[in-house]
A and B are shown apart, each in its own frame.
Chain A
């Protein structure tokens, strides 16, 4: 308490500084006057009395200063002086200040921008209660699992407070409020077990979330909406609770609205904006069809290792009981699934901008060194007048801090702009990127970086400034020679470090560029140019009725083909490179029954005639699927190259028969292999294609609704692919109109050119390459400016020496060689160190690279050449200047 009072008193004094000085002055004045009076009364003359009083009193100026010191603000006063002095110095040399601030702003701004992304994406906890205890339990860590497995894990495990499951669901919203003219919309959502939303611990903003029993078959017609959907579809109608909305033709009662910041799931199906109960019902005993993503909350006193062991025991037991159903089940922290793919690239970027800042620091450091050499005399004078070494160093550090603060301010502006651009450019794969902001954490980081920066670039020059030889410095024109040698050494070290750092950054950039070109040259199997795609979904519309699709799809295809500007058109259930793929196991006719879990498997697609032609996916053997392959003709299937190699090695698969039915269907539906097509990209851009089968849509009862059974969600849409004569975007509105000419209520979504689909699939490497290339370029420029500055300075300092050399007969070529050699030695030394470090560091990039080794000789060679040329150009300008030195002028000027 007393400590606080004391602080308050001290602060009070600080605020009334001038009053304080006046009071002290008055008080001492009174004392002196009274003493003088007393002496006069004792008979001294007024003059003598005054002297006596002063003698007894002491030095008032000194005493006032000591009195002021009692309050402990001396450091602050010095800081104030240093700041004023530093600001004057910086204003005196606006050119230097501008260049230094710009370099620092680049470094600090880039660091702040990248850190704000790291902070939002990697560091901030997920927006759920106790999010660090949330895990996923999935096949291979990311793939869905079968319902019966989920039930067994849930019931048999002991490590989890709660375990829930979710299934992707994208229904059509067909009516909503008739008074509003909302068009039908294809939405993204989740079906969730009742316990899933409560597990996340986030309260709804309005209404409630699901209560036990609401995920039972028959009572699952309730829906919780996201804030975004609520705002978009009903304009935040506060009375929406209890109202019905129609999803896929069924009525759902709105029971709750989640808060705006709520997002679930945070990975996979991230566009979900509504949640309905998942009634497992019939699929409870299904161990073969993997549809569910399982989420769980680990008990408070259970470690991740224990939870993993628990699940491993259970899946081991189930695998023995039902072979092939419980392999490779992995418990992963939820956050790891969210940030896993982006963690390494982001950290590498943070490292890269750290290097840029170091280069900027080196640049500013040798600029400061040069200034200090010019201010040698000033420093000597100040030292002679009694300024201590620490006082001089603190003066220089204050100046550095001032520079760093200016750099930080400019850097902050750069970061504000940079994060906006980053977020805009960043592909959708970066989770939570929309939450990137300059918040308190980022500002703290900025402050730390700024202080550190000031010390890094300011300390060495300041130490050097004060280590000098006073006499030498004070002599007219003198320069402590030993000093300048030491300083030159520091300068060479700085230049060499810049080149080493730039080399490493450029290797990073070079590898990313090489890797990106390797990715670009991958053949997707089809030709994406001039192809337009869009999803037409029929759920909840008239076309979903049994029997209607079989007419609608072929008629739609015909109508689209007849449009002007359309070369060909086809359709597929699920476009390649557009999300999850479904794998199904099948049986080959005449082969022995495989062991459980070892049946042939293939990615499963359903196509309308014209798909291969439109995509220009080449048919290698056999024939394609035509409109004659319909419900009345024998079943056909086309397989990809990989399936042919895998399941019919060295044989001709044409004419072979397969079935996707299990033993229970009698007789099974046999499909004859009629053709083999080239491998096409499937789920993502890099993976090698799996075996794949293409079925004829016209023959598929589920897809066409022949059986009259209710429509399954994943069979309720068709992706149109249309090849245009010219640009694919040119035909988009005509194709949409053609769809709506059948039914204005048909939702159309994902209108994308195939070029866009491909670009999205390579968005992450492109984004990373762009950033690394940018960082590399900045590093190169900073390093070039650095070596140019140092060489230029060195030449100007050596004007007299060079003048003497020339007057003594040194040829211009010799002078050129001498200066260039000096510069190149530093650059090459740095490059050598950079090369050695890059060999080690580039190993860290392995995960980011495709088709190029971390020690790729072309990249290393190329970077070495680029840096060498840069150094040569940057050195040659000052070197040429040196050769033009006129000996007489040089000597006279000195």
Chain B
């Protein structure tokens, strides 16, 4: 079994936003799976915590939700990005890159 890591704090929003940006519309289970697959199972979302995060993003207006049906013909809530969410994603990514680059510089062998 491969090593699994908790996602770094504060990046959950960014991961959800990015996932939605890439895939368009998804429900919660799909988002959780998608993050895991793309990260090649390294990043593990504590699955339940997706939902409070999605609610906070709904309040902030970054995502919108609509009810639809799954392939298995079950009712599911599908989330998609809003223009505001797209802007937020750009913001989060650039912030993350700044921080990551800084950390990388610190870690570079002298």
Q: Report which A residues bind B (CB closer than 8 A).
A: 2, 5-6, 9-10, 23-24, 26-28, 30-31, 33-35, 56-60, 63-64, 66-72
Contact = CB atoms under 8 A, between A and B. Distances in A.
B76 A70 contact: no
Contacts of B86: none
Contact of A6 (B32, B55, B59): B59
B96 interface: no
Contact of B47 (A6, A56, A69, A71): A56
Interface string B16-57: 000000000001110010000000000000111101101110
B97 to A, nearest CB: 25
B84 interface: yes
Nearest to A20: B55
Given A58-B46, A63-B48, 10 more contacts: A27-B51, A28-B51, A30-B74, A56-B46, A57-B47, A58-B48, A59-B48, A63-B51, A67-B54, A68-B55
B16 to A, nearest CB: 14
B81 to A, nearest CB: 16
Given A60-B48, A63-B51, A63-B52, A9 B28 contact: no
Contacts of B27: 27, 30
B61 A9 contact: yes
The 8 A-B residue pairs with the shortest CB-CB distance, nearest first, are A58-B48, A70-B55, A66-B52, A67-B55, A70-B56, A63-B48, A57-B48, A67-B52
Contacts of A56: 46-47
B80 interface: no
Given A2-B84, A27-B77, A34-B29, A63 B49 contact: yes
B58 interface: yes
B60 interface: yes
Contacts of B59: 6, 9-10, 70-72
A63 B67 CA distance: 20
A33 to B, nearest CB: 8
Given A6-B59, A34-B29, A28 B48 contact: yes
Contact of B51 (A2, A24, A34): A24
B29 A26 contact: no
Given A6-B59, A10-B59, A58-B46, A70 B52 contact: yes
A58 B56 CA distance: 18
B47 to A, nearest CB: 5
Contacts of B28: 27-28, 30-31
Interface in B68-106: 70, 74-77, 84
B76 A30 contact: yes
Contact of A31 (B47, B55, B56, B60): B47
Contacts of B75: 26, 30
Contacts of B54: 67
Contacts of A2: 61, 84
B74 to A, nearest CB: 6
Contacts of B76: 27, 30
A23 B77 CA distance: 8
A798 to B, nearest CB: 54
B51 A67 contact: yes
Contacts of B55: 24, 67-68, 70-71
A68 B58 CA distance: 12
Contacts of B70: 30
24 contacts: A2-B84, A5-B61, A6-B60, A6-B61, A24-B51, A24-B55, A27-B27, A28-B48, A30-B28, A30-B70, A31-B28, A35-B29, A35-B47, A57-B47, A58-B46, A63-B48, A63-B49, A64-B51, A67-B51, A68-B55, A69-B52, A70-B52, A70-B56, A70-B58
Contacts of B46: 56, 58
Nearest to B30: A34
Nearest to B70: A30
Contacts of A70: 52, 55-56, 58-59
A506 to B, nearest CB: 58
Given A57-B48, A67-B52, A31 B32 contact: yes
A30 B29 contact: yes
B60 to A, nearest CB: 7
Contacts of B29: 30-31, 34-35
A20 B74 CA distance: 18
A58 to B, nearest CB: 3
A64 B50 CA distance: 11
A24 B54 CA distance: 11
A9 B48 contact: no
A66 B51 CA distance: 9
A2 B83 CA distance: 12
Nearest to A54: B48
Contacts of A28: 28, 48, 51
A746 B28 CA distance: 96
B21 to A, nearest CB: 20
B6 to A, nearest CB: 13
Contacts of A68: 55
B77 to A, nearest CB: 5
Nearest to B77: A27
A26 B70 CA distance: 13
A5 B62 CA distance: 12
B77 A58 contact: no
Contacts of B52: 63, 66-67, 69-70
A6 B74 CA distance: 30
Contacts of A9: 58-59, 61
A479 to B, nearest CB: 44
A59 B48 CA distance: 8
Contacts of A67: 51-52, 54-55
A57 B52 CA distance: 12
A27 B29 CA distance: 9
B75 to A, nearest CB: 6
A771 to B, nearest CB: 55
Nearest to A31: B29
Nearest to B48: A58
A10 B51 CA distance: 17
B24 to A, nearest CB: 18
A71 B52 CA distance: 10
Nearest to B45: A56
A35 B32 CA distance: 10
A33 B72 CA distance: 11
A445 B46 CA distance: 53
A529 to B, nearest CB: 81
Contacts of A27: 27-28, 51, 76-77
A548 to B, nearest CB: 91
A161 B4 CA distance: 86
A392 to B, nearest CB: 27
Contacts of B48: 28, 57-60, 63
A204 to B, nearest CB: 56
A70 B74 CA distance: 26
A24 B27 CA distance: 12
B72 to A, nearest CB: 8
Q: Which of A10, A27, A33, A64 has the most CB of B within 10 A?
A: A27
Nearest to B76: A30
A35 B56 CA distance: 24
A23 B76 CA distance: 9
